[in-house]
Amino acid sequence: METGEDDEVVVVGGGVIGLTTALVLAERGRRVRVWTRDPAERTTSAVAGALWWPYRIEPVALARAWALRSLDVYEELAARPGETGVRMAEGVLGETGLDEAVAWTASRLPGLRAATAEEYRGAGLWARLPLIDMPAHLAWLRGRLEAAGGVVEERAVSDLARVPARVVVNCTGLGARTLVPDPSVRPVRGQLVVVENPGIRTWLVSTGPSAGMAYFFPQPGGLVLGGTAEEDAWSPEPDPATAEAIVRRCAALRPEIAGARILAHRVGLRPAREAVRLEREVRPDGRVVVHNYGHGGAGVTVAWGCAREAAVLAEG
């Protein structure tokens, strides 16, 4: 152990979970370094849609509490969308009932109502939710972390035991499968298409069984179209046939999407697990490892709630 490292925390992983956790620790007065194999713009987090709403995350009761804590933060950050990348945006949650939404949000969201027939062809819910421009938000997180004294370094980690810090926070997402190792962490592949926005200002998520999953989110860089949820699929390369199907499904919901110019194709591998692992592990040599991974498709939704719990665990 090198001198001066006893009070330092190393957060391994530089996606939204890692950066948010590091920021919370730094603003609680800890000396923090983030070690990340890839820069934030090449993480799965950068590919996310990213709408605040639960998706593929367990356990539900804890996820709900983490999500509501995160909602408080996002509502505050939405006052400065140009700076933070967070804004409150209106749209439709297809195949979602009012009772289900109220149960999830504990009546925290005013204005929830059934979608009209003009807004959505099936049963759905009109809502105003945080929508995050992830490239902007990740850059903001890093800037605020550095302002609080934190440091971000591009360093690959192959063994948590060799990280020279008394406290290590493991926010490696899918990387935890081999790093811990934890074979219960599996990829759920998501493919997206970014098109030139033909003037759409509201978002929509549809999970109708006949048409399959379809969603679109208006972001500053274009209209983000999705998506897929392919279990145990590892390919990071966009599939042309899948991309065509995504555009087709979204155009069935909004016909003007059909002629939109394609700007980019993206793929992200969601770190799925039967339940989020958020716990403190004390190693035989006295080192503490706090695990914070396995958030599936809801990392953005629960990031701040999980970060605050991880920070408490790191402090013992």
Place of tokens 């939204």: 16
105 annotated as a binding-site residue: no
β-strands 214-219, 186-195 pairing = unpaired
Instruction: List the one residue out of 254, 242, 122, 269 whose CA is nearest residue 185.
Output: 269
296 annotated as a binding-site residue: yes
CA distances from 274 to 81, 181, 184, 198 (A): 34, 15, 7, 39
215 annotated as a binding-site residue: yes
Give the SS3 label for residue 43.
coil
85 annotated as a binding-site residue: no
Rg (CA), the chain: 19
221 annotated as a binding-site residue: no
116 annotated as a binding-site residue: no
CA distances from 293 to 12, 244, 248, 302 (A): 11, 32, 34, 11
For 291, the token pair is 């695990």
Strand partners, 222: 219
Residues 6+ apart with CB under 8 A from 209: none
Residue 125 backbone zone (phi > 0: left; psi -120 to 50: alpha; other: beta): beta
172 annotated as a binding-site residue: yes
233 annotated as a binding-site residue: no
157 annotated as a binding-site residue: yes
Instruction: List the one residue out of 54, 118, 41 whose CA is nearest residue 85.
Output: 41
Binding positions for D-dopa are 215, 270, 297
Binding positions for FAD are 44-45, 157, 172, 296-301
Binding positions are 44-45, 157, 172, 215, 270, 296-301
